[in-house]
Copies of this chain bind each other. A is one copy, B any other.
Amino acid sequence: MKKREPASIAERMRALAVAAKEAARELSRAPTARKNAALLAAADAVIRRSRGILAANKHDLAAAKKAGQNAAYLDRLALDPKRLEGIAGALREVARLPDPVGEVTASWSRPNGLAIRKVRIPLGVVLMVYEARPNVTTDAAGLCLKSGNAAILRPGSDALHSSLALADAFADGLARAGLPRAAVQVVPTPDREATFALLALDDLIDLAIPRGGPSLIRAVAERSRVPVVKHYQGVCHLFLDQSAPVEKAVAIALNGKVQRPGVCNALECLLVHRGAAAKLLPAVGGALAKAGVELRCDPASLAVLTRAGVKAKAAAPDDFGREFLDLVLAVRVVPNLDGALDHIARYGSLHTEAIVTRDLDSARRFEREVTASAVVVNASTRFNDGGELGLGAEIGISTTKLHAFGPMGLQELTAQKYVVQGEGQVRI
């Protein structure tokens, strides 16, 4: 008798994606009440299965510790009963958000009597590739389910066991609501070839969302035949215009850099108008230095800060355009607004750019001429966030201009189709 060959990774991934596509067709028809029931049941299952999830997480944590991961990394990976409550709460919150599917975003009629509507529909199958953070597994699963999409989730391999355990709990919720288990699947292997195999399946998968550092994003963009919406780094700038009031400049710079330095909407570079550098820099730089921020300065800003007795050092050329994700800030004096616009066009990452100004023309030009998912006038860069902008929960922040630019919530997980109603019209 011939032995059956074990399935290759490519075959296994195709089978997984075929199951996802079948589930997606069922999900696209599921009424809101059923999706909400699944979300609430999944939240309950996460709590009920706490013990098993925490045991899987313990396993992940031990392996990551052994591999020498640092404390911040381990903290993002770690689960405890309080965090599981947070995960369940987030799922219940998604159940409360309005269902985007079926929303009519525009409608009009034509001279020949045709009635046209644009209607939101699910994207289909969404593949998400992300960091070793177990909570992202349930966040993404919940948002995809509510928007009628099947999800294929590929967490960083250090979070694999935790994510599989959470996905099992989620599947329990799906089953209780009568929805297919394949609506949410975690790729059950840490092998990178699995990701690459999935990215080739443009007949089955509608969107790939890579979230993480440059090497991951590049690897996905290079390999993918599936459309990609990147959630890339935030090299966010704050420009202090000549007219910037000192107090607001200090508060906004400090909030941008210090409140949560490890996130993508944190400030990475301060640009100061030459005409106000002597007035603004000592106060702003002083407050930042006092808060423990290392200032890496161009010669002009270094001179001002040093003269004012603020601790600062010379920047290396590659400190501009860099995402520090730490208490480090690049600082540069620019000749004027145009200098700031040029710097941002060259070094920005299309994420979040802010200005502090009292001048109407400066504000309007900055709003108009800066390309970024969010352009902020007289407020902190930290507001570029789905919750803060009022969109509800988000799956991440897109730095791809196509489809969704900025926080990606439920609406951004949908497509729109035209529905055309006639009474027998033909084209002449």
**1/0 contact string of A358-384 vs chain B (CB within 8 Å):** 000001000111011111111110111
A421 and B380 within 8 A (CB): no
Q: Answer whether residue A6 sits at the interface, using C-beta atoms and an 8 A cutoff.
A: no
How distant is the Cα of A403 from the Cα of B377 in the complex, in angstroms? 27
A222 and B225 within 8 A (CB): yes
B378 and A426 within 8 A (CB): no
How distant is the Cα of A123 from the Cα of B423 in the complex, in angstroms? 38
A402 and B227 within 8 A (CB): yes
B427 and A255 within 8 A (CB): yes
Q: Which residues of B contact A108 (CB under 8 A)?
A: 390
Segment with Cβ contacts to B, from A58-66, A152-160, A311-319, A412-420? A412-420
**1/0 contact string of A383-416 vs chain B (CB within 8 Å):** 1100011100000000011110110000000011
Q: Answer whether residue A309 sits at the interface, using C-beta atoms and an 8 A cutoff.
A: no
B418 and A207 within 8 A (CB): no
Q: Which residues of B contact A68 (CB under 8 A)?
A: none
Q: Which residues of B contact A145 (CB under 8 A)?
A: none
Q: Which residues of B contact A427 (CB under 8 A)?
A: 255, 259, 380, 382-383, 388
B380 and A426 within 8 A (CB): yes
How distant is the Cα of A98 from the Cα of B389 in the complex, in angstroms? 29
A379 and B345 within 8 A (CB): no
B402 and A207 within 8 A (CB): yes
Q: Which residues of B contact A116 (CB under 8 A)?
A: 389-390
Q: Answer whether residue A221 sits at the interface, using C-beta atoms and an 8 A cutoff.
A: yes
B424 and A251 within 8 A (CB): yes
Q: Which residues of B contact A416 (CB under 8 A)?
A: 405
A29 and B369 within 8 A (CB): yes
Known contacts A225-B222, A227-B402; A377 and B422 CB within 8 A of each other: yes
B402 and A123 within 8 A (CB): yes
How distant is the Cα of A402 from the Cα of B415 in the complex, in angstroms? 6
B418 and A384 within 8 A (CB): yes
B383 and A206 within 8 A (CB): no
**Which listed residue, B124, B373, B375, B378, touches A401 by the CB 8 Å rule?**
B124
Question: Which residue from chain B places its CB closest to the CB of A207 in the assembled complex?
Answer: B402
* Chain A contact patch, size range: 35 or more
How distant is the Cα of A239 from the Cα of B419 in the complex, in angstroms? 15
**Which listed residue, B367, B368, B401, touches A29 by the CB 8 Å rule?**
B368
Known contacts A255-B427, A403-B402; A420 and B110 CB within 8 A of each other: no
| A75 → B minimal CB distance (Å) | 21
**1/0 contact string of A295-333 vs chain B (CB within 8 Å):** 000000000000000000000000000000000000000
| A382 → B minimal CB distance (Å) | 4
Question: Which residue from chain B places its CB closest to the CB of A101 in the assembled complex?
Answer: B368
Known contacts A116-B389, A202-B221, A371-B124; A380 and B425 CB within 8 A of each other: yes
| A422 → B minimal CB distance (Å) | 3
How distant is the Cα of A32 from the Cα of B420 in the complex, in angstroms? 32
A379 and B255 within 8 A (CB): no
A420 and B377 within 8 A (CB): yes
How distant is the Cα of A390 from the Cα of B117 in the complex, in angstroms? 12
How distant is the Cα of A377 from the Cα of B227 in the complex, in angstroms? 30
How distant is the Cα of A215 from the Cα of B373 in the complex, in angstroms? 34
Question: Which residue from chain B places its CB closest to the CB of A363 in the assembled complex?
Answer: B421
A374 and B424 within 8 A (CB): no
Q: Which residues of B contact A29 (CB under 8 A)?
A: 368-369
Listed A/B pairs (21) with beta-carbon separation below 8 Å: A108-B390, A110-B388, A110-B390, A114-B388, A116-B389, A123-B402, A124-B371, A124-B401, A202-B221, A206-B401, A227-B228, A229-B402, A259-B427, A374-B418, A375-B419, A377-B422, A379-B420, A379-B423, A382-B427, A389-B420, A403-B403
The interface of chain A, by Cβ under 8 A from chain B, is 25, 28-29, 102, 108, 110, 114, 116, 119, 121, 123-124, 202, 206-207, 221-222, 225, 227-229, 247-248, 251-252, 254-255, 259, 345, 363, 367-369, 371-380, 382-384, 388-390, 400-403, 405-406, 415-427
Kindly list the 5 A-B residue pairs having the minimum CB-CB distance in the complex, ordered from nearest: A379-B422, A255-B426, A401-B415, A403-B403, A382-B427
